[in-house]
Structure 1
Amino acid sequence: MQKWRKNILKKNKKLLLMVLLGIVFAFTGCGSGTDSGSASEDKGNDLKTVKIAASSATAQLTECAQVAEKLGYIDEELKAAGYKAEYVGFAGAGPAINEAFAAKEIDFAFYADFPAITAKSNGVDLKVIGVANSEMNYGLLVSGKSGIEKVADIEGKKIIVTPGTILYKYFVELCEENNIDMNKVEIVNALTDAQTVLASGDADGLISSLGGTKMYEVMGLGKVIADSTSNLEQASGFVLAGRTEFVEKNADVNKALLRALNRAAKYAQKNPDEASKLMVTEAMPRKVVDAVYSYNTGFQYFSPELSDEYIERAKKVYEFAKDNSLLGGDVKLDELFDDTYVDEVLSE
């Protein structure tokens, strides 16, 4: 391995582990309970505090929400409504956020639609009022030592994928699309230790978020040979969800956050290069950002609209979860996904 690759591996080992831990939990969900207000009043001024969860230990927002936060749009819009944001990070992502919702510790969260659906199925009263990315994509990376050249070659190979997650949904769909007998693929449940497992040859490939697989590719650990950008029915969404009681009592806050997202989406659509720069972090370098969004730099998927196209994808996520006994009960999606506020914002 070339010296620069060794240096990249060493530098990014801890960062990548954090990213992959987030991936494991961001696409799973649990929790139950009821809701009540958790927004608090700032004693130092007239602004109330709205607590917003992020799917990372550092409370770093992602997708369109990250652009909106870095451009100051969230602060501006919330201030106009008499609020300010307090970001709360969750290393456990989806499940941890659902527990915080159930415990009435947060008001909103930017996270994947899969845990939002599972939370609702377990009695957490949520509403999804918009999206920060309606096209969250996934990929298949294979090791250079695996001998895999095309997707059909994974039969007889060992693939890292976590059962019971949205990642497994993509794996199933990928197998169906390529006429692969899933019984001939050995599943390795080792996403959080994927780097070591791949490097040792104990696995031949990895199913993960497109960002996760592209990070590995940049690090020289393999190549991405398939991803959901070629079939967006396999994608899912990154949403803005809020506790129902808070949402129903605070329309001004709902619309403030959605206005911020809409402004950020329009900015990204007009300034794709600048928007990409804003999404660069230590854990997500520019090469990875570019690789993730290169399939469509128009950023139309950053619009907060709960479009019919997106809702159809969300239905597929729900059906997968239900068919695989991952839900606590049935979910009425027309109650979970509430477009009242985003439609008002988009019509302004």
Structure 2
Amino acid sequence: MNKTVQALARRWGAVLSLALAASASAHAAPEVIRIGVATAGGGDPVTWGGSPGGVARVNNWLEEEFKASGIKVEWLFFKGAGPAVNEALSNKQIDFAYQGDLPSIVGRSNGLKTKVLLVSGQRNNLYLVTPVKSDVHSIKDLKGRTVSIFRGTNGHLVAINVLAANGLAERDVKGVNLDTGSSQAALVSNGVDAAFGGYEWFKVRDQGLAKVVYSTRGQDPAFTRQASLLVRSDFEQANQAEVQRVVDVFVRAAKWSSDEKNRDELFGIWARSGTPVASWAAEFDQQSLAARNSPLVDDFIIGRYKAVVADALKLKLIRREVTVDDWFETRYLKASLKKQGLENYWTPADAKGRAKAQPLAAR
């Protein structure tokens, strides 16, 4: 081999080595996976309830999944709920987000590039609570009253729709924007006449400090709240193998959380967040765990997200229409269901929230 050929061989070898190194670098696994949760949570370590994600958190399933790969898992909890999670996504401080429907849609309308991977806690109920001696006995009694509504969360829009169903608009009440803890303090001290909220109010009720005068449970499923696991689009594109592994763990947690034989243990795990077992029993009373913990992106979920977009536009909570159909990235969910033999485990629901006749794989 002459010197010219040898030089060319060395040059091309160097180019190939650089190309391979660049390719490996471009697809290197992340050193840390950061998951933002749209609640302050509670306990030590901090966790949350009402979602199969809380089971994965308490059992360290994600940490175990990535331990051999040397990838650290960080959980970040946000007292400011959905709006605070959107800010963290915008600043690329988190990679995944557990978040309610309305705040995730607000984020999308503001240009956040995310993908919805699966549902992680659906059909969450909304309640109206008042001080024990209040003369407010129904939604209609709220006219002119001071009412706590945590604006920008997935309960905000449901509260507006509940008011509308009872002949009231949001302007008919004196709305006060308070987070969960502040709302409880205000109601107990008679600083507000009533408050909308979720399962967290059962603890206050059971302490004799409040009464529940309205519940969406057993009513139209359109009056419920949905929460999902999202991922930043750029993170998903660069780390597809890791995204699949995260989805696998969440699906595993959803399966465990859907098994009725685990009901008591499930509520015990969620109680580590500071919400008592009795509160979870009340929230899930006479409701199927599988229906509430299904990860499927079915017609009901798609329909609810579209309805939230429409309502948010009408109420000027968002400034422009956003698409929904191309937002759901369910290939990871489909792969996980197949891998775990769960393609027919959950029964999908139709647009009205009714179970379809035959179980189908996720969309």
Q: CA deviation at 1:200?
A: 4.1
Establish whether residue 213 from structure 1 lines up as the match of residue 201 from structure 2: yes
Question: Which residue does 1:237 correspond to in 2?
Answer: 226
Inter-partner Cα distance in structure 2 for 1:176 and 1:163: 16
Question: Which residue does 1:49 correspond to in 2?
Answer: 32
Question: Which residue does 2:47 correspond to in 1?
Answer: 60
Question: Which residue does 2:249 correspond to in 1?
Answer: 260
Question: Which residue does 2:336 correspond to in 1?
Answer: 345
Structure 2 counterparts to residues 188-337 of structure 1, below 5 A = 188-191=176-179, 193-208=182-197, 210-230=198-218, 231-270=220-259, 271-281=262-272, 283-337=274-328
For the 8 Å contact 1:94–1:112, the answer to whether it is kept is: yes
Q: CA deviation at 1:317?
A: 1.7
Inter-partner Cα distance in structure 2 for 1:170 and 1:73: 33
Bigger fraction of residues in strand = 1
Q: CA deviation at 1:206?
A: 0.9
TM-score by length of 1: 0.77
For the 8 Å contact 1:155–1:182, the answer to whether it is kept is: no
Q: Deviations over 1:179-218 (max 9, x none)?
A: 446665443444553344334434321111x223223212
Inter-partner Cα distance in structure 2 for 1:216 and 1:226: 15
Which protein is bigger by CA-based radius of gyration?
Answer: 2
Structure 2 counterparts to residues 116-155 of structure 1, below 5 A = 116-155=104-143
Q: Deviations over 1:83-115 (max 9, x none)?
A: 442222333332332222222222111122222
Identity %: 27
CA separation of 1:167 and 1:307: change in aligned 2, threshold 3 A: same
Q: CA deviation at 1:293?
A: 2.0
Inter-partner Cα distance in structure 2 for 1:50 and 1:296: 33
For the 8 Å contact 2:115–2:233, the answer to whether it is kept is: yes
Q: For residue 141 of structure 2, what is the amino acid of its counterpart?
A: D
CA separation of 1:320 and 1:289: change in aligned 2, threshold 3 A: same
CA separation of 1:276 and 1:117: change in aligned 2, threshold 3 A: same
Inter-partner Cα distance in structure 2 for 1:141 and 1:93: 20
CA separation of 1:108 and 1:149: change in aligned 2, threshold 3 A: same
CA separation of 1:242 and 1:157: change in aligned 2, threshold 3 A: same
Q: For residue 249 of structure 1, what is the amino acid of its counterpart?
A: A
Q: For residue 94 of structure 1, what is the amino acid of its counterpart?
A: G
Q: For residue 292 of structure 2, what is the amino acid of its counterpart?
A: Y
Please tell me the root mean square deviation across aligned C-alpha atoms, in Å. Answer: 2.8
Inter-partner Cα distance in structure 1 for 2:177 and 2:84: 21
Q: Deviations over 1:305-346 (max 9, x none)?
A: 212111211222222221122225331112222222112212
Q: Which moved more, 1:239-248 or 1:300-309?
A: 300-309
State the SS of the aligned residue for 2:271: coil
CA separation of 1:327 and 1:168: change in aligned 2, threshold 3 A: same
CA separation of 1:110 and 1:194: change in aligned 2, threshold 3 A: closer
CA separation of 1:313 and 1:157: change in aligned 2, threshold 3 A: same
State the SS of the aligned residue for 1:236: coil
Question: Which residue does 2:343 correspond to in 1?
Answer: none
Question: Which residue does 2:160 correspond to in 1?
Answer: 172
Inter-partner Cα distance in structure 1 for 2:131 and 2:185: 12
Inter-partner Cα distance in structure 1 for 2:33 and 2:324: 25
Q: CA deviation at 1:222?
A: 1.9
Q: For residue 35 of structure 2, what is the amino acid of its counterpart?
A: I
State the SS of the aligned residue for 1:294: coil
Inter-partner Cα distance in structure 1 for 2:137 and 2:322: 40
Inter-partner Cα distance in structure 1 for 2:40 and 2:152: 23
Structure 2 unaligned regions, length at least 5: 1-25, 340-363
Total equivalences in the alignment: 305
Q: Deviations over 1:5-62 (max 9, x none)?
A: xxxxxxxxxxxxxxxxxxxxxxxxxxxxxxxx9x975xxxxxx321111234565244
Inter-partner Cα distance in structure 2 for 1:290 and 1:180: 31
Q: For residue 251 of structure 2, what is the amino acid of its counterpart?
A: N
